[in-house]
Amino acid sequence: MHDETQSVPGSVAISTVLQEQENSSTPTLSVVTSDPDLELNPDNDIAEIPVPFNDIPTTNTGTQTIGGLDMGAAYQIGGPTAALAGAADITDTKDGIEELCPVCGDKVSGYHYGLLTCESCKGFFKRTVQNKKVYTCVAERSCHIDKTQRKRCPFCRFQKCLEVGMKLEAVRADRMRGGRNKFGPMYKRDRARKLQIMRQRQLAAQTLRGAAQLSTDGMYANQPGTSPFANIHIKQEIQIPQVSSLTSSPDSSPSPIAVALGQVNSQMQLSGTTAQPALQIVGVPPGNGGGPAQNPTIEQKLWGAANSTTTSPHSLSPKSFQFETVVPGVAQGKVSPLIRDFVQAIDDREWQNSLYTLLQSQTYNQCEVDLFELMCKVLDQNLFSQVDWARNSIFFKDLKVDDQMKLLQHSWSDMLVLDHIHQRMHNNLPDETTLHNGQKFDLLSLGLLGVPTLIDHFNSITAKLQELKFDVSDYICVKFMLLLNPEVRGITNRKHVQEGFEQVQQALLEYCVTCYPQIQDKFNKLQAILQEIHSLAARGEEHLYLKHCNGSAPTQTLLMEMLHAKRK
């Protein structure tokens, strides 16, 4: 079986996505340029320290240069002369810092294109991107890459380069030599973090040695100087393997956590079964700097699953809501079949699974990711889910693609915000989560479309909805009403949209009256809140658009496509 990479797919047109219903091919979401220092959240568990490796006093760097080239700080520490260093802490850190190339396991020669890699993978990555190479895997796209076999399958090698986090955007389009790029500060922070980890390890080791020594003496006491913090150091030490494994994974094995979550495996399998971006990207930054995992996921979800499930989403959604518990009045037959079906079709577990899978896959093997960029990727994925949901929804699915596009272009951001509110209110989505690499990701920012200042508005909306006992049925009806907006300009089949809208509106009105008689005017109040959501979403869109215009937001995404569509 021969698999081939394809040429650059370009941006994802909304119409393409929608039209895929007919041919079920897989559009490729493209990639992302980003500034890794933009809105970085340095708030990780390990305090940043102002001492990069290269500031560590060594007197023997000269012996570590090769051919007159200073080989850099990272391996200076772990290099053959490290043992000669006088300071005990330097010799002790040797094991901690000696890194292997995450692609092939060869010796690391420095930071290249986003992370520590060996010289050969650096060269390979550069050649591939610069020369827009297109490779083929003659096997199953899952060839093992190590030092001895890395030459065998360039396809899988390049795929692995992307998987571990090598950044296409670090290869310069203009081929300019020298200087520094935007990743410089990230490399510096990564060095500092590694150094910090080494020191913690060393202290933990000392503490343990001390404790062992004292216990053999039949006494319990901590070493002077470290005693108050001994437990802390040990605790941090336990966390270290997760963190350090992100930058050195010679065999590319998923971390135990990822395996336990069942997340990385599924991602990797997907990435191995889909023609991937790798080379399509060349020239254009790849859709997901973090590797090929994202696109196949989206594609599979949207165009694989969706095409076969249009008839009965319920049966495929064992995770959908149990009406009896979430929809009051259903047992008494008070709820319209329309709302029943709506609610049953919801699969929030899938929503959250996709979210966490994406977050973990994007940070797997990455020492530090751009959190704004990551947020955009999540929004983008949500957007794909949104389109998928719409295309399989009653009323909407009967429309022509042009009409569908217009409706989606008009409502996507409102629906993203609404979805987030729903996830928080009904599924306990937390406000933040810790990523695979230890960074904290602000989940709430998704609901704010990346605008921190919208938090008050967001909270006020949420509070009002809570007062109204906004439930899952309300949510899904409101979502339909946002989507099926007959006011949208240029709709050809406005009658159908109008009918759909009115049916949902009527169902919601009846639902509010019958199931929530104690809440006065719930229906109209919900309508008013829709306006607020719309205004919040509009500000979010504006912000994202500005970010995009000044080059801070990923390009070639469905998200940006949507942002542009409204401004055409």
User: Which residue numbers belong to the known binding site for a phospholipid derivative?
Assistant: 547
Q: Residue 291 CA to chain centroid, in angstroms? A: 11
Alpha helices in 64-152 (DSSP H): 73-78, 88-92, 94-97, 119-130
Looking at the Cβ atoms of 166 and 478, the one nearer to DNA is: 166
> Which phi and psi angles does 38 have, rounded to 5°?
-75, 125
Of 286, 457, 440, 421, which Cα lies nearest the Cα of 363? 440
In the beta sheet, which residues pair with residue 136? 4
Give min distance, CB of 138 to DNA, in A: 14
Looking at the Cβ atoms of 123 and 551, the one nearer to DNA is: 123
Q: How many residues bind DNA (CB under 7 A)?
A: 48
User: Binding string to DNA for residues 100 to 119, with x set by CB under 7 A, is what?
Assistant: ------x---xxxxx---xx
> Which phi and psi angles does 434 have, rounded to 5°?
-95, 130
Touching DNA, residues 479-538 (CB under 7 A): none
Give min distance, CB of 92 to DNA, in A: 21
Which residue of 80, 185, 256, 551 would you call a contact of DNA, by CB under 7 A? 185
Looking at the Cβ atoms of 69 and 219, the one nearer to DNA is: 69
Looking at the Cβ atoms of 68 and 337, the one nearer to DNA is: 68
Touching DNA, residues 186-215 (CB under 7 A): 187
3-state secondary structure 438-494: CCEEECHHHHCCCCHHHHHHHHHHHHHHHHCCCCHHHHHHHHHHHHCCCCCCCCCCH
Looking at the Cβ atoms of 131 and 428, the one nearer to DNA is: 131
**What would the two tokens of residue 379 be?**
């929004």
> Which phi and psi angles does 450 have, rounded to 5°?
85, 10
Per CB under 7 A, 180 contacts DNA: yes
Distances in Å between the Cα of 535 and the Cα atoms of 307, 461, 538, 561 are 34, 11, 5, 20
* Cα–Cα distance, 515 to 62 (Å, whole number): 79
User: Binding string to DNA for residues 129 to 168, with x set by CB under 7 A, is what?
Assistant: -xx------------------xx--x--x-----------
- Candidate ranges 128-136, 396-404, 447-455, 524-532; the one touching DNA (CB under 7 A): 128-136
Region at 24 (left for phi over 0; alpha for psi -120 to 50; beta for the rest): left
Which residue of 10, 42, 123, 225 would you call a contact of DNA, by CB under 7 A? 123
Looking at the Cβ atoms of 169 and 237, the one nearer to DNA is: 169
* Cα–Cα distance, 377 to 294 (Å, whole number): 9
User: Who's near 193: CB < 8 A, 6+ residues apart?
Assistant: 44, 46, 48, 243, 367
Which residue of 172, 400, 495, 566 would you call a contact of DNA, by CB under 7 A? 172
- Candidate ranges 120-128, 264-272, 375-383, 487-495; the one touching DNA (CB under 7 A): 120-128
Give min distance, CB of 369 to DNA, in A: 15
Binding residues: 547
Looking at the Cβ atoms of 68 and 218, the one nearer to DNA is: 68
Distances in Å between the Cα of 105 and the Cα atoms of 100, 147, 534 are 5, 6, 51
- Candidate ranges 178-186, 232-240, 379-387, 548-556; the one touching DNA (CB under 7 A): 178-186
**What would the two tokens of residue 191 be?**
């060095």
Which residue of 16, 181, 242, 352 would you call a contact of DNA, by CB under 7 A? 181
Alpha helices in 61-118 (DSSP H): 73-78, 88-92, 94-97
* Amino acid present at 247: T
User: Binding string to DNA for residues 331 to 350, with x set by CB under 7 A, is what?
Assistant: --------------------
Touching DNA, residues 55-94 (CB under 7 A): 61, 66-70, 72-74
Looking at the Cβ atoms of 184 and 551, the one nearer to DNA is: 184
Give min distance, CB of 121 to DNA, in A: 7
* Cα–Cα distance, 343 to 346 (Å, whole number): 5
* Cα–Cα distance, 161 to 101 (Å, whole number): 10
Give min distance, CB of 139 to DNA, in A: 15
Which residue of 22, 83, 179, 219 would you call a contact of DNA, by CB under 7 A? 179
User: Who's near 232: CB < 8 A, 6+ residues apart?
Assistant: none
3-state secondary structure 187-229: HHHHHHHHHHHHHHHHHHHHHHHHHHHHHHCCCCCCCCCCHHH
Which residue of 177, 489, 567, 568 would you call a contact of DNA, by CB under 7 A? 177
Give min distance, CB of 188 to DNA, in A: 7
Q: Which residues bind DNA (CB under 7 A)?
A: 52-54, 61, 66-70, 72-74, 106, 110-114, 118-124, 126-128, 130-131, 150-151, 154, 157, 170-172, 175-181, 183-185, 187
